[in-house]
Structure formats: C-alpha cells, structure tokens
Structure 1
Amino acid sequence: MKYLPIDRELFIKNRKNFAAQMEPKSLAIFNSNDIYPISADSTMPFEQHRDIFYLSGVDQEESVLVIFPDCPNPKNREVLFLKETNEHIAVWEGEKLTKEKAFETSGIKTVYWLKDMEKVLFELMTQCDTVYINTNEHYRANVETETREARFAKWLKDKYPAHRVAKSNPILQRLRSVKDPVEIALMQKACDITEKGFRRVLDFVKPGVWEFEIEAEFMHEFLRNRSKGFAYTPIIASGNNANVLHYVENNQKCKAGDLILFDVAAEYANYSSDLSRTIPVSGKFTKRQKEVYNAVLKVKDEATKLLVPGTLWAEYHVEVGKLMTSELLGLGLLDKADVQNENPDWPAYKKYFMHGTSHHIGLDTHDYGILTEPMQPNMVFTVEPGIYIPDEGFGIRLEDDVVVQPSGEPFNLMANIPIKAEEIEDLMNQ
C-alpha cells in the first residue's frame, strides 16, 4: 500500500463497537471484494470492501473476517482467513499478508489460511444461533454484479438453513457514519493532498489547455503524495460541460473567457475527500460570473452553519432551498411569480440547482449514514451547492468537506483550499 500504516487500535475499537450491537450467540462474517475482470487476463485494480477494511484494516483480496463475541473458545472470537502466501506468489504478485503481519495490521491473533475456512467455520456455526451477513443497503446502491459477499451469503444460507440470519448493514450504517478521530485525521490527509493538486492546477491552467491535461496534473500530485489516485471519477468540465452534472469525458479544450468546474479529489488509505471548485480559464472572472460565483459561495457558507447535531437531512435541504431561492431572485434567474407558482415537489430553484447539497463522506465518497436519523457530532458531510445556467454557457459548484461539531459551526477539512474569487484570481495571475 502507498499509505503509511494505520494504528491497529482503530480497528480493534471498531470491532468492539460492532460486537456490542450483536445479538447473543451470533457471529458476523465479512468478505473482501473480488478482483473484477476486464477481458482476457486483464483485471480492474483491486479495491477492498470498505466494511472488512473498517473492521480489520486488511487491504487484500480473498480475505474473510469472522466476529463471534460469545464463542466458547476465546481464541475464535475474532478470526481472519487469508489467502496463503508462498514464494511463488511473492515472486509473481508481491508479498501478501503473513499471519504475523495480519496481527500487526488488525490486532487479530487468530489467523487461518483460507483453505481451512469451511472446516473451522463448521465448528463455529455449531456454536451460534444467528449469523450476520453483509448486504449493501446504501440508499444510492445499484448493484447488478454478483459480488463475492453476495455469493458467500447464498452459499452460507444454503449450507446452514436452520440458522437465523441477521443484517450487519444497519449496525455499520450507524457506526461508520460517526468518525473516530483517527479517521478524521486520515480524511484530513486526503483533503491536504487534494489541496496540493488544486494549487498545482491553478498554476497550470490557461487558455488552450485540455481538460484531460488538467486531470493529469491532479493525478501526478495525488500519486506523489501517497494517494492511489482519485476518490471518484474526476469531473473537469469547462464551459457548458459544467451543466452536465456527471460529465466525465474530460476531452475538450479550455477556451478563454470560460469557467472550469472541477469535482475532483484524492483518496488516502481508502478514505475519500470530495472537492468542487470553479475557476476562470483566463485567470479572471467576468462581472456576471463573479456575481453567480459569490451567490453560490454565500449559499455554501450559510448551509454549512446548519450542519449541527440534531439536524434532520430532509429539513436541512428545505432550508438550503430557501437560501438558494433568495440568491436566484437576486441574480434575476427567478422572479416572484416563479416562486409563488412553484410545484412544492420540485421547487422553482431546482431549475438551476437540481441536486442535493450534502451527503455523508468517509470510506466511501457517498458514505454510510441513515438519513432519517438526526446528525451527530463527528459525522462528516460535503456541502456542495451549485448554480447551472446553460443559456449563459457556464455552471458553478463549490464544495467542502466538514465535520459536525458538538457545538458551534462544523470544522472545515478544506479550510486551506482557496475558494474566494479574488484569491483564485490572485493565485492564477502570480
């Protein structure tokens, strides 16, 4: 891994918190992700399943974690199954976790090779009544591929039909949404790497550069700072491309007078950051561009203040809608009749700001969190309002990542990343 070792106490604590929510005489099982094929012998780069990483720190394929707090044999209350390493694998693929290294990483003392799993698991299953399986219940999930986790759950229920089945996901949704200080520090590192990339790009952009060249500048800076790259598919959208919310082609030339909307950020140690900034290709905003820019910035700053303990996500978005409506009226994009006659299910402001303002962020860019439950301290949210005006040839989105505090305004993990229009102009014209 490119990232520096993480203190295993984080994973020990995470397992303890998970186990405390389990029913008596139950065990929970978590699988690594598959390595997904492309064609022939080509594969996608491996990405660890975030749940097994959260609970163990193991960042390797073909790994399985079992948590069994009430196991009669204390040795088997926490168990890792790993792909057995050997000299041949070391030569062709590189070093894999040894049992000793797995303990250093996770704090789990009992490690078996994967070939022994069915035998060991049979013994454990005879000692429990309930088994927690891990299903993906994120509100944005749209999974068509049968995952390793799904195949395993199918096999387990077929082999042990008399066991009661429970779900890990509701426990993890709550645990993962509230970040440990160690996690917040890792996210800060991801944000700091993103800052380096953005400052590099401010010095690089000028009329005539291509969007993909800017993407390359970000990637260069991310990799040289121990990130494995982008936390999500990067958006480098110049001119009217910014009005396509998920524009990812990044294949157009940046023209004088246009704006570029960036939605691009680094990961670090599997933790995401999520940044949006909008800059002028020529290094100077027009009067109209700056008016719209400052309106978006005002909404962002005011929306951030609303992310406090007890806030409900749905009510928060209603309040942000009111802030945006006020700004759009001031810009002349809406008039009073538009607002008076609006459809409550699709308010007038949605013509220019059609997406949500905030989502949980953490190990996943759109991280775990139950949206019907109140916000809590140490939850981390994006704040990302935007105004999109195809008729004027530009769109503006501004986004930071903030930590909900026990009292007062959230802590901005991206406070050092330039955002004021004048600061961006000054940096681009040094």
Structure 2
Amino acid sequence: MLKHYSEEKIRKKMMSRRLIFSTLLFVLSFFPRLATAGEFQDDLKARRARAMERLGPESMLILWSAPTKVYSHDVNYEYRQDSNLYYLTGIDQEDTTLVLMPGNLTRKEILFVKERNPLREHWTGHILSKEEATTQSGVEKVYLATEFEPFIRTILSRQPYDLPRYSSSPEFDIFFKALTGGRARLELILSPKPGLFERLGPTFEFANRVKERSTGLLIQDATDLLRDLRQVKTPYERKVLERSVEISNSAHLAGMKTARPGAYEYEVKAAIEQVYKSSGALGWGYPPIVGSGPNTNILHYEKSNRRMEAGDLLLVDAAANYEYLTGDITRTYPVSGTFSPLQKDIYRIVLAAQEQGMKIAKPGVRLSDIHEKTVQVVKEGLLKLGLITETAGDQYRTWYTHGACHFIGMDVHDVGDYDRPLEPGMAFVIEPGLYILDGALENLPKSPENDTFSQKVRPAFEKYKNIGVRIEDSFILTESGLKQLSARVPRTIEEIESFMQTHSKPSASR
C-alpha cells in the first residue's frame, strides 16, 4: 500500500510538471506574435504621424472602410478592408472610419467603429469593442460609428465635440481658425474619379454634401499622399512582405510537384491554395492563374478546368495575401518535366529579358527604364526567331503585350508613382512575357504594313504557335541592392527541369 501511494504520488507530480511545461510552451508560443503585434502598432502610429506631417495642421483627413460586397443573394464575399484604411489603422472590420486632425492639441487621431451587438455577433462573429479597437490600432480616441455624423456636423459648425458644455477648450482651435479664414482643407480619397454620367460613390456624395453645407473648407484629393507613403515600405512592412512571398514560394513548389500529364489545372491551383491557408495567410492576393497548353496565352485566365497533356507548358501566376501584403510570382514549366526545343527558344528570350532588367534595377532608375531594357532584349530575340522583321518599330507588341513592372504591397498592383525614381524600400516585380497566341496575326488592324508583316512571319508563327511564357519575380530594393524575394522557386531551364524530374509523379490516369 505504501509503495502504491508513492507511485501514485510520483505519477501525479509527473503529470503536474507536464501540465506546467505544456502551459509554458503554450504561453511562450504567443510571444513572437505579441511582439509582432506591438511592432505593428508602433508602425501604424509612425505611418499616421508621417501622414499628418504631410497633411499639415489646418486639414482633416477622412478614410472609410470598404463596403461589404454581395456574392449572390444573401451571401457576401469574404470581407477585405480598404487598403488605405488598413494601412493607417490595422483594422479589418467593416463600418470603420478614421479621422486625422493634425492641428488638434491631443485628439489628432479619431476612430469610429460599429457598436457591438450580441445577436449579430452570434451570426457573423466578434465585433471589436472600442477598447479592442484602441489596442489593435493604437488610436486612443474611439467613438461608435453612429457618432460620426454628429461629430462632423459639430466640427464644421466650429463647435468642439465631446467636451463639457459651455467649456472653453482650445482643442480644435487651429482647425476652427482655418475654417473661419477659408484655409481649412478636407482631404478625401477622390480617385478614381467617376465619369460625367456615372453614379457618384459614397465619398463623392459626402464631398458634395459638405460643399453645399459648409463654408471656409477646401476639398482636396488625398490619393497621392497615401500613394507616396505606401510606395516606400517601412522596415516592418519589408519583413512581412518577405514572409508573404516566402509562403508564395512554398505554394509554387507545391504546385510544381502536383503538375503532371493527365492532371487538371485545378489540382495545381488547389495545392497552391492549401499552402496559403496552412501557412497562416489570409488567402490569395489575387485569383491564381493556372493555365496549360493554349491557356498559357490568356493573361488573366481563371477557369483552371483543362486537363494537362504531355508536352504542355503550364503557366502559374499566384501569390498569397499575408497580413495584407502580397507579392507576385509567375513560373512557366513543362508538365512532362522537359522543355521542347521550341519552348526553350521562347523561354530563353523571356529569361534573358528579365535578367537584363534585374541588372539595371538600382536606385535612381524608373520602372519604365527596366521595361525598356526588357523590350530591347525581346526585340533581338524575336528577330532571330523570325517572329518580327525589324527592331525599330512596335512589331514586338504582337507577342509582348504588357508592361514588365508594377509595384507590389498591400495590393498586387500596388499604388505608386511610376515617374518616381527607385529608392530603398520600394517593392516591385519584373515580369516579361511572350505569347504566340493563335489568331494574333489575323487580329492585327488591316493595313499594307501589317499584311506584309503577317506574310513574312507566318512560318515562324506556325512553328511557335500556342507557346506562352511569362517569368515574374518579386523584388525589394534595399540599402545594399536588389533583393529577389522569390529566388527559391526554380527559374532557369536547368533548375526547372531538375526540379520537375526529381519531384515528378506518374501521369494521372484518364
């Protein structure tokens, strides 16, 4: 009995220690996340501070959350926050509004969030309380969304809001004096502008209401201000973007392992999206493009329902949305594991164009300069293959149908000033592509020049018809040079063939 008691005591002590150890591991697992959360809040505060410095003391910036969008009938799409609002608040909840008033004494940042509703939360999930909104965004002054209209009405009437009645407070004085002097500015996102006969969106309707009812207020477009801030990534954003692209790298490798003759395009797509979700990404940053055979020539192909055949190329353009940052990666590879000689001809031109573009991607260069460098390489390559007859004109555009570069960040085609020279912190892609699309010659505008061109290149066209190749990588310009974020995904012919042959699966049965 005594021996049994000792064993039982020992067993209980061991279980207690295991419980303590497990609890400690659980708690420690949150430390990196908590540190990241704190770092994110600090970054948000710094972003708002830079925005307010640009705005100046006599202005008011208002940003609204994105509306919910209906998928069908009573089912909505998964909610995606407006990029500008998320950039300054980190809140991905609908019915949220941010007001920045840089001239205020203490209430420079004001947030409006929807009221909690237990019944609604039972159906659609947790709604942030005002305290939680402060914790998540770092904005101290938070009101309910229902207070936004009275807040604006009171402020534009030159009366302080949420202060003791009849009290004399200088909190809003700078903005009020600017209103009286006709210098106050209301900054809104007013791009893109609707056409003359198009319906006005909510922001334009709000601007018109304010213009009709207020004096001393100049309404201005804040689009460029937010664009310029977002164009140069903060150290925190760079770290998150690298993680986002790293998830995308793994997803592309999973897709390559899945591709084989007899399999469907959607199988590759599913393998890619599984990696997104299992890695903690929100999902895709844009709908994945997975096109095989003739579908490689469809730039934004989305159906993904074709069965791949031996000898096909597969073009995959896909990237994850991780914490509202996305890269952009495209690879084109043979589902059978080996490029044909004709496929290699086209692939080598595209690869050489990208590599030459990478060489000149340095501070002071513009994205248009990189594109023009890829054009030079493409022209020389197409001329050798007989797909153009001269390099002086625009014949190359028959096969090279898009630009080589765009910025990346919160949106896959992120905001940015394309006339602004590159500087450290800017993130972008280089993505040349050639598409020998069936029917391309027949669809050229009718002219003697085009008729002559078509006749001369017809033999080469028939030879390379239906081959489409795009190679795209995500980059960030750092203080030490160009950093290729997507380098882990095989890119050269030799790398791709080695990977495909090493990880090849048997052809899917028909």
- The answer, yes or no, to whether TM exceeds 0.5 is yes
1:387 matched to 2:457? The reply is: no
Does 1:34 find its partner at 2:67?
yes
CA spacing shift, 1:426–1:313, aligned 2, 3 Å: closer
- 1:92-151 Cα offsets, whole Å, 9 max, x none, are 22111112221221111100011111222233332532111112349xx9xx78654444
Is 1:130 equivalent to 2:177 in the alignment?
no
Instruction: Give the counterpart of 1:404 among 477, 486, 509.
Output: 477
Give the letter aligned to residue 123 of structure 1: T
> Contact 2:353/2:373 (CA < 8 Å) preserved in 1?
no
Give the residue type in structure 2 aligned to 1:418: P
Does the 8 Å CA contact 1:264/1:275 hold for their aligned counterparts?
yes
Distance, in Å, in 2 between the alignment partners of 1:407 and 1:327 is: 32
**1:199 counterpart = 2:253:** yes
Contact 1:71–1:124 (CA under 8 A) maintained in structure 2? no
The correspondence for 1:420, drawn from 474, 489, 492, is 492
Query: How many Å apart are 1:302 and its aligned residue?
Result: 1.2
Contact 2:258 2:267 in 1 (8 A): no
> 1:371 Cα deviation (Å)?
1.4
CA distance in 2, matches of 1:249, 1:145: 31
Output the CA distance in 1 between the equivalents of 2:493 and 2:299.
22
Question: Retained in 2: the 8 A contact 1:207–1:282?
Answer: yes
Distance (whole Å) between structure 2 residues aligned to residue 369 and residue 285 of structure 1: 37
Structure 2 unaligned spans of 5+? 1-32, 159-171, 176-183, 438-461, 503-510
CA contact (8 A) 1:383 1:401 kept: yes
Q: Find the counterpart in structure 2 of residue 110 from structure 1.
A: 141
Structure 1 residue 18 and structure 2 residue 51: aligned? yes
Shift in Å, 1:154: 4.0
| Larger fraction in helix | 2
Q: Deviations over 1:366-403 (max 9, x none)?
A: 11111122222211111000111234221000000111
Provide the C-alpha distance between the structure 2 equivalents of 1:107 and 1:318, rounded to a whole number of angstroms: 44
Of residues 406, 418, 422 in structure 2, which corresponds to 1:375?
422
CA separation of 1:210 and 1:333: change in aligned 2, threshold 3 A: same
Aligned residue-pair number: 414
How many Å apart are 1:51 and its aligned residue? 0.3
- 1:166-219 CA-to-partner distances (Å, cap 9, x unmatched) read 121111111111111111111111111111111111211111111122211111
Distance 2:201 2:335 in 1: 43
Offset at residue 70 of structure 1 (A):
0.5
Residue ranges of structure 1 left out of the alignment (5+ in a row): none
TM-score by length of 2: 0.77
The 1:277/1:420 distance shift into structure 2, 3 A limit, reads same
Separation in 1, partners of 2:243, 2:434: 29
- Which amino acid letter does the alignment assign opposite residue 274 of structure 2? H
Distance 1:43 1:162 in 2: 41
- Say whether 1:77 aligns with 2:108: yes
**Aligned counterparts of 1:202 and 1:38: Cα–Cα separation in 2:** 31
Partner Cα distance (1:145, 1:378) in 2: 38
Quick one: distance in 2 between partners of 1:55 and 1:107?
A: 10
Q: Distance in 2 between matches of 1:287 and 1:145?
A: 53
Q: Secondary structure in 2 aligned to 1:359?
A: strand
CA RMSD of aligned residues (A): 2.1
- Aligned match for 2:122, one of 85, 88, 91: 91
SS of structure 2 residue aligned to 1:132: strand
> What is the DSSP-based 3-state SS (H/G/I as helix, E as strand, rest coil) of the residue aligned with 1:339?
coil
SS of the residue corresponding to residue 303 of structure 1 reads: helix
The residue number in structure 1 matching 2:391 is 339
Q: Deviations over 1:283-340 (max 9, x none)?
A: 11112212321221121111012222211333332232112212223434334xx224
CA pair 161-254 structure 1, distance change in 2 beyond 3 A = farther
1:7 to 29, 33, 40: 40
- CA–CA distance in structure 2, aligned partners of residues 377 and 48 of structure 1: 27
- 1:50 aligned residue: 83
Q: Which amino acid aligns with 1:79?
A: I
2:325 pairs, out of 257, 271, 276, with 271
Query: Partners of 1:198 and 1:288 in 2: how far apart?
Result: 24
Question: CA separation in 1, counterparts of 2:96 and 2:60?
Answer: 17
Pairwise mapping of residues 164-243 of structure 1 onto structure 2 (< 5 A)?
164-243=218-297
Distance 1:425 1:29 in 2: 53
Q: TM-score, normalised by structure 1?
A: 0.91
In the alignment, residue 111 of structure 1 is paired with which amino acid?
A: V
Asked if the contact 1:320–1:357 (Cα under 8 Å) also holds between the matched residues in 2, the reply is yes
The corresponding residue for 1:66 is 99
Please tell me the residue identity of whatever aligns with 1:13. Answer: A
Report if the CA contact (8 A) 1:34-1:148 is conserved.
Answer: no
Q: What residue number does 1:120 align with?
A: 151
**1-structure distance, mates of 2:200, 2:498:** 50
Aligned amino acid, residue 424 of structure 2 = P
Q: How far apart, in 1, do the equivalents of 2:200 and 2:78 lie?
A: 18
Equivalent pair of 1:11/1:54 in contact (CA under 8 Å): yes
CA distance in 2, matches of 1:251, 1:151: 43
